[in-house]
Amino acid sequence: MNRVIYPGTFDPITFGHVDVVKRAAKLFGKVTVAISNNPRKKPTFSVAKRIALAKDALSDVKGVEVESFTGLLVEYAKKKKASAVVRGLRELSDFEFEFQTAIVNRKLGNLETVLIVTDPKYFYLSSSMVKEIAEMGGNVSCFVPKKVELSLKKALK
């Protein structure tokens, strides 16, 4: 079985992320959801909270582990003995960024990238949009798991 990594900030994890993880697990058997601890970003939730929310959201998916990483993805992938990186592709504008990142990861660490086209019911969804809706008091229950929704309400009040 090949191990793949699905890296991201996951601030917070959404139903779109969950869909990509489920589909990657079917394809590869084992998926590591690697939550980035990127000091350049200012996430709403701590790394520990993002891990807890992701583990809860993915608890029914076999072959999935959730952990964090710091530094270059290619170095983390070597440590995990991963064969590839999985990324969700929502729209055409995502492609340009993902293509560039895939080329750099291949050049730096001979790491392949597999793009999974997001299910059409989630193609518009992003963590940033979910947070903005929650900040303005909107209902995000159709975008995120229940524990994420409750955590957002608590964090953003």
pLDDT of residue 113: 97
- In the residue annotation, 93 being an active-site residue is answered as no
Question: Which of 30, 50, 87, 127 is flagged as catalytic?
Answer: 127
4 phi and psi angles, rounded to 5 deg? -125, 160
| Predicted confidence (pLDDT) per residue in 44-94, tens digit | 999 999 999 999 999 999 999 999 999 999 999 999 999 899 999 988 778
What's the mean pLDDT in 34-45?
A: 90
Question: Which of 41, 42, 81, 157 is flagged as catalytic?
Answer: 41
- Is 139 strand, coil or helix? coil
- In the residue annotation, 126 being an active-site residue is answered as no
Domain ranges of the chain: 3-156
What's the mean pLDDT in 26-38?
A: 94
33 pairs with which residues across the strands?
A: 6, 66
Per the CB < 8 A criterion, the answer to whether 41 and 73 are in contact is: no
- In the residue annotation, 80 being an active-site residue is answered as no
Question: Which of 30, 50, 87, 90 is flagged as catalytic?
Answer: 90
34 pairs with which residues across the strands?
A: 7, 67
Distance (Å, rounded) from C-alpha 71 to C-alpha 58?
Answer: 24
- In the residue annotation, 83 being an active-site residue is answered as no
| Predicted confidence (pLDDT) per residue in 91-137, tens digit | 877 899 999 999 999 999 999 999 999 999 998 899 999 999 999 99
The CATH code for residues 3-156 is: 3.40.50.620
Whether residue 33 is predicted with pLDDT greater than 70 in this model: the reply is: yes
| Predicted confidence (pLDDT) per residue in 140-151, tens digit | 999 999 999 999
pLDDT band at 1 (very low <50, low <70, confident <90, very high): low
Question: Which of 17, 30, 50, 87 is flagged as catalytic?
Answer: 17
pLDDT of residue 13: 98
Alpha-carbon dihedral of residues 30, 147, 118, 36, nearest 10 degrees? -60
